[in-house]
Chains A and B, each alone.
Chain A
Amino acid sequence: GAVVSQHPSWVICKSGTSVKIECRSLDFQATTMFWYRQFPKQSLMLMATSNEGSKATYEQGVEKDKFLINHASLTLSTLTVTSAHPEDSSFYICSARDLRGQETQYFGPGTRLLVL
């Protein structure tokens, strides 16, 4: 149990295009999902907390208009990187917390984004 998927796993795009990343909890419901980004050989940085049916809460320094988050259902959250630029190239990871409140976050496999 407690499987989280992400799609796509790899994406290469041109500068200026938008990229959507999906995060799904496959076998549990998640009122809260989290989006992280990770640069090579660095730790994970929390970008935003995604709450089902409400607006996402962004961490300081994260542009909400740049990184659009939608949490349309208890099993799906999407992150859209709008007008991507090379500096947005990173490893994006989502996690989901089980609705049953076990406090444990389960992570997706991550999405590697390369903006040319």
Chain B
Amino acid sequence: AQKVTQAQTEISVVEKEDVTLDCVYETRDTTYYLFWYKQPPSGELVFLIRRNSFDEQNEISGRYSWNFQKSTSSFNFTITASQVVDSAVYFCAPDYKLSFGAGTTVTVRA
């Protein structure tokens, strides 16, 4: 079984600030996938990013970037120059069966 820890329950920022969401996971698998999903107030989960465990290259996609450190089992996610529309609950989830973390509620104030 996977275990996911998102230590931050809530984060509140002012628009244009950067937001970094922490995620630490436990797994016995040697290869696995990691995901970040976003759940806006409407409730529908939106797929954001997926990483393979054997690819530790960190990337930037638009305002999103992520920092994957296999040695520390961390998969952090950053929103640069946050916008009000980024307000949502963000879930980290490893593996295809998706053991979800508790989620981090991000509130971006205008």
Binding site for B on A (CB under 8 A): 2, 34, 42-46, 49, 91, 93, 95, 97, 103-110, 112
**Chain B residues whose CB sits within 8 angstroms of the CB of A103 once the complex forms:** 33, 50, 96
Alpha-carbon separation in the docked complex, A36 to B45 (Å): 12
**Chain A residues whose CB sits within 8 angstroms of the CB of B42 once the complex forms:** 109
What per-residue 1/0 map shows which CB atoms of B85-110 lie under 8 Å from chain A? 00000010000111111110000000
Binding site for A on B (CB under 8 A): 33, 35, 37, 42-47, 50, 91, 96-103
Which of A34, A43, A45 has the most chain B CB within a 10 Å cutoff? Answer: A43
Q: Are A109 and B98 in contact (CB under 8 A)?
A: no
Which of A2, A44, A45, A104 has the most chain B CB within a 10 Å cutoff? Answer: A44
Q: Are B100 and A44 in contact (CB under 8 A)?
A: yes
- In the complex, besides A44-B45, A105-B98, A106-B47, 9 extra interface pairs with C-beta distance below 8 angstroms are A34-B98, A42-B102, A46-B97, A104-B35, A104-B50, A105-B96, A107-B45, A109-B42, A112-B43
**Chain A residues whose CB sits within 8 angstroms of the CB of B46 once the complex forms:** 107
State the majority secondary structure of interface residues on B. loop
Q: Are A44 and B91 in contact (CB under 8 A)?
A: yes
**Chain A residues whose CB sits within 8 angstroms of the CB of B102 once the complex forms:** 42-43
**Chain B residues whose CB sits within 8 angstroms of the CB of A105 once the complex forms:** 35, 47, 96, 98
Nearest CB to that of A97 among chain B residues?
A: B96
Nearest Cβ on chain B to A16's Cβ, whole angstroms: 26
Alpha-carbon separation in the docked complex, A109 to B41 (Å): 11
List 20 A-B pairs, Cβ < 8 Å. Answer: A34-B98, A44-B45, A44-B91, A44-B100, A46-B97, A46-B99, A93-B43, A97-B96, A104-B35, A104-B50, A105-B35, A105-B98, A106-B47, A107-B37, A107-B44, A107-B47, A108-B44, A109-B43, A110-B43, A110-B44
Q: Are B96 and A43 in contact (CB under 8 A)?
A: no
A34 and B91 contact, Cβ closer than 8 Å, known pairs A107-B37, A107-B45, A109-B44: no
